Amino acid sequence: MKKAINRRSFLKQSAALGALAVAGGKAVAAEQRLPVSVTTPRRGPNEELRIACVGIRGRGGSHIQAHCQGPNTKVVTLCDVDERLFAERLKQVAELGKPAPKTVWNMREIFDDKDVDAVSFATPNSWHSLGAIWAMQAGKDVYVEKPCSHNIFEGRKLVEAAAKYKRVAQVGTQNRANPVFHEAIKAMRDGVIGDVFMARGLCYKRRNSIGIKPDTPCPEGVHYDLWLGPARVQPFNENRFHYEWHWNWEYGNGDIGNQGVHQMDVAVWGLGKDGTLPVKVSSMGGRYGYTDQGETPNTQIAMMQYDDGKMLVFEVRGRYTNDESLIHVGNLFYGSKGYMAIHTKGYDTFVNDKPGPSLKAKEKSTIFTNFHDVCRSRKVEDLYAPVSIGHYSAACCHLANISYRLGRTLEFDPKTEKFPNDAGASNMLTRDYRSPYVVPSEV
C-alpha cells in the first residue's frame, strides 16, 4: 500500500502543476487536491440542512429524492464526474418543487464549500471510504452507500475518521431502519425460535451477461481520472463504467457486496455479531452460464464461523433458481426450537415444525430521515446504521471474496482484523492506492 502524501506539499504541487488525468488513454492536465480540514458551522434544529449529493446516476437519484423531501432539508449541490447526467437530475429536483442546486464534477469543490453541512455518496464502491473520509476531514457529515468500504483496511479507517472528527456517518443499509426487522430481531432475542445458532443470507437476483465490449475513447463530459480514483489506470470501457463496475474487482465487490451486503448486515445483526468478525471463512463459486467481461462470481457460497461456534452462511445465485421459504432476497435464521424467514415485506416463524408468530410490514424505512435528525441533534448513538456497524457487515463480504479469490479456507483474527501468518490473504486486506487517491494509515 502506498503511503499518503503530505497534504500541504500536495496542495502546492497541484496548484502549480495540476495532476495527470487519463481520458481515452491520453494524458491531460487536471487539477486535483486533497480537502483542507475545516469546521463547518452546524445547523440548529429549526434551520435548513444543506446537502450535497455525490454520484447522481442510479441509486444517486434516490438520494436526491430523499434529501429533497426531508424535513427542512435542501440539496444545494449535485456532483458527478459524468457531466452528461446533470440535466436529468436538475429536472428531477425541479419536479420536486425545489430550487436548482449547483452542479460540479469535482467533489473537492463541495469539501471547500462552508455552506454544505453534509455529503451523500452514491459512487462506485472504490470511492466510498475515501470520499467519506475526505468529507469528514473537511467538517461534513456523511451518508455513504453500502458497502461502506471496498476493503477491510479502509473500512476501519472510515470508522476511525468518524470518531476522530466527531462526524455523523450513516451507511445506506436501509433494513436497519425498517420496523419489520427490528420486530423480527426482537422476537429472536425473546427466544421465539430458541437459541439462534445459524444465519443465512439469500441474494437470488438474476444477473444476465454484460457481454464483451471494446475499449473506446472516453466520452466527452466524463472526467475519467477522477472516476478511477484509487483504482489502477485502465482504458475506458462501458463494461467497466456505469453500473457494470460492480462486476470488476477494481471498483466493486460482486453481488455479495452489492445487493448482498443488505442481507449480510441483517445476518450479522440477527446473530448478535455487530462489533466482531468471524474467525474462519470459506467461499467458492464462479461465473456460470455465459462468458463476458465480468470478473466477480454470479454464483457464490460463503461459510463463516464465529469464535463461539455460530455460523453465517451466505449464498448468491445470479442465474435461474428456486425460492427458499418464498424468499428470493432475504434471510433465514435457525434456532433450537425452529426457524425464521425474514424479508422487507415481513417475517414468518416456524416453531416445532408448525407456523408461529408472523408480522407483515406496515411502515416504510426512514434511514434518510434518521440521518437528517441526527445531523441536527448530534446524538450519533441514535443512528440506525453508523459506520461503526456497517464496517463489520461490509468486512464479512470482503472476507468471503478474499477466500473465493484465493480458493481456500482462511483463519482470521477479529481483534486485530488480520490474517495470522498468511501473507497472501493479508495483501488483500487493502489495495495499492493510486496517488493522490490514497486512504491514509492515519486519518
- pLDDT band with cut points at 50, 70 and 90 for residue 274: very high
In a shared domain, residues 187 and 317 = yes
Instruction: State pLDDT tens for residues 326-346.
Output: 899 999 999 999 999 999 889
The full 3-state SS of 328-346, as one line of letters, equals CEEEEEEECCEEEEEECCE
Assign residue 28 the CATH number of its domain: 3.40.50.720
Higher pLDDT, 47 or 42: 47
In a shared domain, residues 425 and 321 = yes
In a shared domain, residues 206 and 289 = yes
Helix, strand or coil for residue 112? coil
Domain hosting 355: range is 176-211+251-363+394-429
Strand partners of residue 354: 351
The structure's pTM equals: 0.91
Query: Rounded to an integer, what distance in angstroms lies between the CA atom of residue 54 and that of residue 42?
Result: 20
| Residue 50 within a domain | yes
Query: Rounded to an integer, what distance in angstroms lies between the CA atom of residue 175 and that of residue 178?
Result: 5
Query: Rounded to an integer, what distance in angstroms lies between the CA atom of residue 126 and that of residue 115?
Result: 27
Query: Rounded to an integer, what distance in angstroms lies between the CA atom of residue 231 and that of residue 282?
Result: 26
- pLDDT band with cut points at 50, 70 and 90 for residue 44: low
Query: Rounded to an integer, what distance in angstroms lies between the CA atom of residue 67 and that of residue 141?
Result: 14
| Residue 246 within a domain | no
Query: Rounded to an integer, what distance in angstroms lies between the CA atom of residue 367 and that of residue 360?
Result: 19
Query: Rounded to an integer, what distance in angstroms lies between the CA atom of residue 123 and that of residue 211?
Result: 23
What is the per-residue pLDDT for 72? Answer: 94
Query: Rounded to an integer, what distance in angstroms lies between the CA atom of residue 381 and that of residue 104?
Result: 33
Please give the mean pLDDT across all residues of the chain: 91
Assign residue 199 the CATH number of its domain: 3.30.360.10
In a shared domain, residues 355 and 408 = yes
Three cell numbers at 231? 483504482
Count of domains in the chain? 2
Helices (H) and strands (E) in the chain, counts: 12, 17
Q: Are 174 and 365 in contact (CB under 8 A)?
A: yes
| Residue 1 within a domain | no
Query: Rounded to an integer, what distance in angstroms lies between the CA atom of residue 144 and that of residue 140?
Result: 12
In a shared domain, residues 262 and 118 = no
Q: Report the Cα 220 to chain-centroid distance in Å.
A: 28
| Residue 85 within a domain | yes
How many degrees, rounded to 5, is the angle at CA 179 between CA 178 and CA 182? Answer: 95
- pLDDT band with cut points at 50, 70 and 90 for residue 403: very high
| Residue 437 within a domain | no
Query: Rounded to an integer, what distance in angstroms lies between the CA atom of residue 341 and that of residue 266?
Result: 12
Pairing of strands 49-54, 118-121: parallel
In a shared domain, residues 200 and 349 = yes
What is the per-residue pLDDT for 361? Answer: 86
Mean pLDDT of 338-363: 93
Query: Rounded to an integer, what distance in angstroms lies between the CA atom of residue 7 and that of residue 36?
Result: 8
What is the per-residue pLDDT for 41? Answer: 47
Report whether pLDDT(9) > 50.
Answer: no
What is the per-residue pLDDT for 167? Answer: 98
In a shared domain, residues 166 and 290 = no
Instruction: State pLDDT tens for residues 109-124.
Output: 999 999 999 999 999 9
